[in-house]
Amino acid sequence: MRRITLWALSTLTTLVLLFSYHTSTGGSGTASAAGTSVQAPAAAGSGTTDSGTASTDSGTTDSGTTDSGTTSGSAASKTYDGDTVQTRWGPVQVRITVVDGKITASEAIVYPNGNHEDEQINSFALPVLNQEAVSAQSASIDMVSGATVTSEGYLSSLQSAIDQAHL
């Protein structure tokens, strides 16, 4: 009798846990159009656009390199967009800002945000990845636990941007 009771309770517990699990319903390889933008490259160029003025000219070439055109003293601030990496949950693309050969900022400009879980995970993971990229000055950073797929896409796109910046 004791075994039957234990078996029934464990079966019931398993069923309750199974049916209460909330799965991701909208993130199987697609990203929502509301918060995700993928930039189309402009006409073929030399790879870098440099306006040399203090205005904010943000041109994109087919290598994904952009120059913000801003100057701070004698140091020009340039931005480089990494490749858009397709992950299981959607595209990831990173933009870095480089001043005097150092990464001063890193941000994910395209990332999965097709559902509540994507938004929740990325709201935690992306700031950590951005900070780590600036601290390490390379793509040799740790991935964020719980955001493995996004972290892998982030690292690939970050390495692409670093390669474009010749760092």
Q: Is residue 15 part of a domain?
A: no
Contacts by 17-23 with C-beta closer than 8 Å and gap 24+? Answer: none
> How many domains, in total, are found in the chain?
1
> What is the residue range of 158's domain?
36-164
The CATH code of the domain that includes 94 is: 3.90.1010
* Mean per-residue pLDDT of the chain: 75
pLDDT in tens, 40-64: 333 333 333 333 333 333 333 334 4
Q: Quickly state the pLDDT bin for 133 (edges 50, 70, 90).
A: very high
pTM: 0.57
- Nearest alpha carbon to residue 98 among 166, 51, 151: 166
Looking at residue 98, its pLDDT comes to 94
